[in-house]
């Protein structure tokens, strides 16, 4: 039988243990661990959640990787057409981990109503378009259905709907300037069949989703010519590797660009979240460890007589240190239990009720997104327990300084 664990259990169960001088210090240590656990869970869940949401929205509008012509065009507008007669379309068989390849084309336009006008990006898509992203953020109407026939149905954002007072089912005019400014602009009368709200204001206030056939006709492209291709991959963490593979598997006249390369400032910004998370975890574990060191030292000093008796009975320093480390481990587990309970409650409330809001102009989301994965929660608990115990090994050496002859008192 593990007698060190047996003695530790007896100490924990003792009534005088709960009313001893060390009791307030022990409670403070447990509270510190619980609070630290809550803060670490919130930091990871919100940091990773925000990263994922921003990546999801960027890829929803752009795909993970875009394939276009090699040119000096750095705008959102596609100028030179690409033939759809490519080896990688409609299936990218030469690169693994590719989920979908879809065509697109963009053109600058101006929405004109009776009272207002505003510039927009007219994004054309085809029947191969994956509507999963817009399906999640659709708030009114339905998604367009583009087939072989030219469709005048469009999808607009709630931002454009509010600013220009365009409602579901309304028709409105979009003007497109021709290459020759002296000629009258192209006019398209389109109908709103759906309204979305992604919360990503930079895109919501600009993009109108429509049938790519309009762009093909206005740009004098053939039916087999498009602005480019959007490639979706199954694992975002492998985007750099897949982007390079896609580049190597496309023609020399084509360029591939990942959304990380297209929006480097945004990804550099959200990359800082990882640093913040690491700093918060380090600080919280350090604070919890220091509190536990204090509690352990008080426990040992409070039971010097017991330590002396155990030594007199033949126990060595390592065995006695194990007794107090088991005791400390129990306290850490109590703190972790309450920290997990409170942390999960807070995170679930935020996930399903969205109690804490953010400014979408700054953070690209309206509410704090939550990422929940029991894998990282388990690792966080194990890591906290082990690191705290490791920090307690050195302070527990004080046991070896206690002399049986001085600590044992007889009445």
Residue 22's nearest CA partner among 295, 276, 227 is 295
Q: Is the predicted pLDDT of residue 18 greater than 60, yes or no?
A: no
224 found inside a domain: yes
> 101-155: per-residue pLDDT in tens?
999 999 999 998 888 889 999 999 999 999 999 999 999 999 999 988 899 999 9
Q: Is 186 helix (H, G, I), strand (E, B) or coil?
A: strand
Question: In terms of domains, do 75 and 192 share one?
Answer: yes
pLDDT score, position 411: 45
Question: In terms of domains, do 226 and 359 share one?
Answer: no
Question: Are the C-beta atoms of 122 and 109 separated by less than 8 Å?
Answer: yes
Question: In terms of domains, do 96 and 181 share one?
Answer: yes
Question: In terms of domains, do 107 and 245 share one?
Answer: yes
Question: Are the C-beta atoms of 23 and 190 separated by less than 8 Å?
Answer: no
Question: In terms of domains, do 322 and 220 share one?
Answer: no
87 found inside a domain: yes
216 found inside a domain: yes
Please say which residue of 182, 217, 252 terminates a domain: 252
Q: What angle do CA 213, 215, 220 make, to 5 degrees?
A: 95
158 found inside a domain: yes
Q: Any residues with CB less than 8 A from the CB of 113 and at least 6 apart, and which?
A: 164, 165, 166, 172, 173
The whole-angstrom separation of Cα 331 and Cα 34 is: 11
> 360-380: per-residue pLDDT in tens?
778 888 889 999 988 999 999
| Interval 321-331 mean pLDDT | 85
pLDDT score, position 182: 72
pTM here? 0.82
Question: Are the C-beta atoms of 166 and 120 separated by less than 8 Å?
Answer: no
Q: Any residues with CB less than 8 A from the CB of 65 and at least 6 apart, and which?
A: 230, 231, 233, 239, 242, 243, 246, 256, 257, 258, 259
Question: In terms of domains, do 125 and 218 share one?
Answer: yes
Question: In terms of domains, do 354 and 243 share one?
Answer: no
Residue 213's nearest CA partner among 67, 105, 111 is 105
Domain carrying residue 21: 3-56+267-407
260 found inside a domain: no
pLDDT confidence bin for 384, thresholds 50/70/90: very high
If one counts the domains in the chain, the total is 2
How large a percentage of the chain has pLDDT more than 90? Answer: 50
Question: In terms of domains, do 278 and 398 share one?
Answer: yes
Question: In terms of domains, do 243 and 329 share one?
Answer: no
For residue 91, what are its two tokens? 């299936």
Please say which residue of 218, 252, 286 terminates a domain: 252
Q: What mean pLDDT is reported for the chain? A: 87
pLDDT confidence bin for 232, thresholds 50/70/90: very high
Of the two residues 71 and 110, the one the predictor is more confident about is 110
Question: Are the C-beta atoms of 367 and 354 separated by less than 8 Å?
Answer: yes
Each as own residue / partner, the long-range contacts of residues 50-56 (CB below 8 Å, 24 or more positions apart, any chain) are 50/270, 50/273, 50/363, 50/365, 50/368, 50/369, 51/270, 51/273, 52/369, 52/371, 53/364, 53/365, 53/369, 54/200, 54/266, 54/270, 54/364, 54/365, 55/236, 55/259, 55/270, 56/133
41 found inside a domain: yes
Please say which residue of 252, 280, 312 terminates a domain: 252
Residue 105's nearest CA partner among 231, 198, 214 is 214
For residue 343, what are its two tokens? 């942390």
Question: In terms of domains, do 197 and 91 share one?
Answer: yes
How large a percentage of the chain has pLDDT more than 70? Answer: 95
pLDDT score, position 294: 86
- Label each residue of 234-275 as H, E or C: CCHHHHHHHHHHHHHCCCCCEEEEEHHHHCHHHHHHHHHHHH
CA 60 and chain centroid, separation: 15
257 found inside a domain: no
- Residue 398 DSSP label: G
Question: In terms of domains, do 149 and 209 share one?
Answer: yes
pLDDT confidence bin for 20, thresholds 50/70/90: low
Question: In terms of domains, do 240 and 329 share one?
Answer: no
351 found inside a domain: yes
pLDDT confidence bin for 87, thresholds 50/70/90: confident
The whole-angstrom separation of Cα 259 and Cα 212 is: 22
For residue 231, what are its two tokens? 């490639």
């Amino acid at each position: 039988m593990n007698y060190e664990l047996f003695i530790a259990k007896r100490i924990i169960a003792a009534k005088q243990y709960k009313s001893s001088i060390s009791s307030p210090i022990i409670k403070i240590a447990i509270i510190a661990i619980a609070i630290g656990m809550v803060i670490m869970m919130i930091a990871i869940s919100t940091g990773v959640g925000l990263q994922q949401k921003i990546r999801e929205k960027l890829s929803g509008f752009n795909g993970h990787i875009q394939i276009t012509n090699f040119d000096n065009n750095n705008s959102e507008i596609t100028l030179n057409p690409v033939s759809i007669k490519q080896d990688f379309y409609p299936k990218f068989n030469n690169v693994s981990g590719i989920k979908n390849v879809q065509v697109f084309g963009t053109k600058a336009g101006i929405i004109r109503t009776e009272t207002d006008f505003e510039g927009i990006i007219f994004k054309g898509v085809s029947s191969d378009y994956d509507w999963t992203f817009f399906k999640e953020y659709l708030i009114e109407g339905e998604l367009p259905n583009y087939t072989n026939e030219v469709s005048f149905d469009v999808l607009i954002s709630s931002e454009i709907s509010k600013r220009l007072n365009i409602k579901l089912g309304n028709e409105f005019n979009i003007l497109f300037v021709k290459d020759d400014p002296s000629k009258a602009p192209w006019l398209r009368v389109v109908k709103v069949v759906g309204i979305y709200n992604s919360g990503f204001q930079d895109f919501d206030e600009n993009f109108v989703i429509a049938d790519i056939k309009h762009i093909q006709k206005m740009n004098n492209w053939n039916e087999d010519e498009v602005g480019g291709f959007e490639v979706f991959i199954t694992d975002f963490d492998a985007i750099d590797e897949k982007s390079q593979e896609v580049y190597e598997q496309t023609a020399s006249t084509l360029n591939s660009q990942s959304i990380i390369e297209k929006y480097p400032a945004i990804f550099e910004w959200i990359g800082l979240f990882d640093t913040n998370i690491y700093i918060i975890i380090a600080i919280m574990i350090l604070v919890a460890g220091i509190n536990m060191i204090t509690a352990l030292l008080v426990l040992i000093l409070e039971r010097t007589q017991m330590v002396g008796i155990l030594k007199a009975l033949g126990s060595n320093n390592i065995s006695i240190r194990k007794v107090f480390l088991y005791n400390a481990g129990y306290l850490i587990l109590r703190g972790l239990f309450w920290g997990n309970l409170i942390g999960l409650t807070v995170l679930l409330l935020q996930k399903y009720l969205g109690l804490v809001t953010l400014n979408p102009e700054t953070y690209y989301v309206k509410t704090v997104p939550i990422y929940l994965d029991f894998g990282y929660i388990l690792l966080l608990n194990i890591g906290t327990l082990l690191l705290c115990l490791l920090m307690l090994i050195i302070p527990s050496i004080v046991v070896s300084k206690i002399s049986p002859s001085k600590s044992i008192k007889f009445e």
